[in-house]
Every structure is written in structure tokens, then in C-alpha cells.
Amino acid sequence: ETGVTQSPTHLIKTRGQQVTLRCSSQSGHNTVSWYQQALGQGPQFIFQYYREEENGRGNFPPRFSGLQFPNYSSELNVNALELDDSALYLCASSSGPRDRRHLGSYEQYFGPGTRLTVT
Amino acid sequence: QKEVEQDPGPLSVPEGAIVSLNCTYSNSAFQYFMWYRQYSRKGPELLMYTYSSGNKEDGRFTAQVDKSSKYISLFIRDSQPSDSATYLCAMIPNSGYSTLTFGKGTMLLVSP
């Protein structure tokens, strides 16, 4: 079984630039969620993708956007980077969106994250 | 008030001690409760999850949920230095999207 992978591992960008982060979901998983984790904080939900459609969004501005591809891999794009965007960006995959008949769909497995530094 | 409150620690214990980690929450709609372990500069690793109230045991780990008090706990028996990490509680509501709401995490340090 292949776990969740993310690239790149680290990234340094300048304020105002754009960045694209990538995630490959765990084998057999079709749902990808993105989270932002600032230093010393718990992860904050950005958005979720299921079958290439956005399936929920947290309290993040529109300059945070995403894509999911037919192979269920995903991208997170951030435009007009701000200093406060510096954080660990985590991708999590699961076997589907909410399904009370299948409690396993609630299990989200995280990748190692991409550490973004904005200067 | 944040939806999920968790003492950031650090919590320092000697090897072999029983560790108790806790979270409180304010949203009564939370129905699914998870515990994640996160080593420094790594992604969170799912340890356990429980549905509604009750206990769940897995090896040295026991998760408890008390929905009447809006209080969840993770107990670690016979703690090991390799348990040193940040422990994050996370919750999902009974309806809507299956998105995780996390606490800030508690840093645990187990000394040999």
C-alpha cells in the first residue's frame, strides 16, 4: 500500500508570488483534504476534493485554490503570497466523503507536508 | 472561545508512567473523535478514532469520550521515549462535510 506523498518538501517564496503544492493520495483513496498548520497550532482545514469537485471549504480566501485529477492526486495553489501564509501544508486522503455506513471514510491519512516559507 | 481546546504542554513524564492527554470542545454536533500523533516536522499519524461516547483500547492506548461533559481523553500506559511527540485531538461533526477540527496539540516528553 502506498502512503500519501507530497512535493516539494520545502519551499521558499517571496511575498506576492504564487506557489503550487502537490499531493498523491493513498492507494484506494478518492478524497483529498488540504490543511494549513502554523507553528505551534493544530492544522486548519482549507478545502476538500472528491471526484475532482470541491466538497467543502474552510475559512480561507479565494487566492487559495485547488484541483483534483482523475488519478485522485491533487494540487493546492496559493496566489499573492503573504507573510502569514508561512506554514506546513498538509494533504490528507480518505476512502470517501462522509458515509455513516462506512466509518472508515472518516479516517484521514496525512502526508509528510510541505513547509512553505514566505519572505 | 475556540471549538476545541487542548493544553499545549509540554507534559514531561518518566519512562513507564501513565500519561493522560485531554481535550474539551464546545460544539455538541461533534460525533467522531480522533487522536493523531505528530513527530517534529512530520505529518500527523492517526492513532485511534471513536464514534460517540465510550472507550476504545488499542495496545497501550485507550481513548475515552464523554459527550455529556464534552471531554475526550487519550491514555498511554507504560510510556516510552519513542512516545515523545505532539498529540492532536480532532473531531468531525455529525452532519456536513467530513472535515477535521483540531486542537492545538499537546507536546509530550518521555524521559528515559
Render pLDDT for A22-81 as a digit per residue (tens, 0 to 9).
Answer: 999 988 888 899 999 999 999 999 999 988 999 889 999 999 999 999 999 999 999 999
Res B49: pLDDT: 87
Q: Give B69's contacts (C-beta < 8 A, 6+ positions apart).
A: B24
Q: Give the integer Cα–Cα distance in Å for B32 and B41.
A: 26
Cβ pair A113:B51 closer than 8 A? no
The reply to whether B75 touches chain A by the CB within 8 Å rule is no
Res B97: pLDDT: 66
**B30, β-bridge pairs:** B93
The reply to whether B39 touches chain A by the CB within 8 Å rule is no
Q: What's the angle, vertex CA B30, arms to CA B103 and CA B1, rounded to 5? A: 50
Nearest Cα to Cα of residue A20 among A81, A70, A72: A81
The reply to whether B96 touches chain A by the CB within 8 Å rule is yes
Q: Are A15 and A34 in contact (CB under 8 A)?
A: no
Single-letter code of the amino acid located at A57: R
Q: Which letter, b or e, does each residue of B99-112 get, where b requires 16 or more Cβ atoms within 10 Å of its Cβ? A: bbbbbbbbbbebee
Q: Are B87 and B74 in contact (CB under 8 A)?
A: yes
Chain A residues with CB under 8 Å of B6 CB are: 42
Nearest Cα to Cα of residue A28 among A117, A102, A86: A102
Any alpha helices (H) in chain B, and if so which ranges?
Answer: none
Burial of A115 (0-12, 13-18, 19+ CB in 10 A): middle
The helix/strand/coil state of A26 is: coil
Averaged pLDDT, groups of 10, chain B, 112 residues long: 88 97 94 93 90 89 94 97 97 78 96 96
Of B42, B100, B103, the CB nearest to A45: B100
Confidence category of residue A111, pLDDT binned at 50, 70, 90: very high
Render pLDDT for A68-98 as a digit per residue (tens, 0 to 9).
Answer: 999 999 999 999 999 999 999 999 998 876 5
The helix/strand/coil state of A51 is: coil
Mutation pick from B100, B104, B106, B107 vs chain A, by most beta carbons of A within 10 Å, is B100
Q: Give the integer Cα–Cα distance in Å for A3 and A109.
A: 8
Q: Give the integer Cα–Cα distance in Å for A11 and A113.
A: 11
> What is the distance of C-alpha B32 from the center of its chain?
12
Res B12: pLDDT: 97
Measured over the CA atoms of residue B83, residue B88, residue B94 and residue B95, the dihedral's sign is negative
Single-letter code of the amino acid located at B23: C
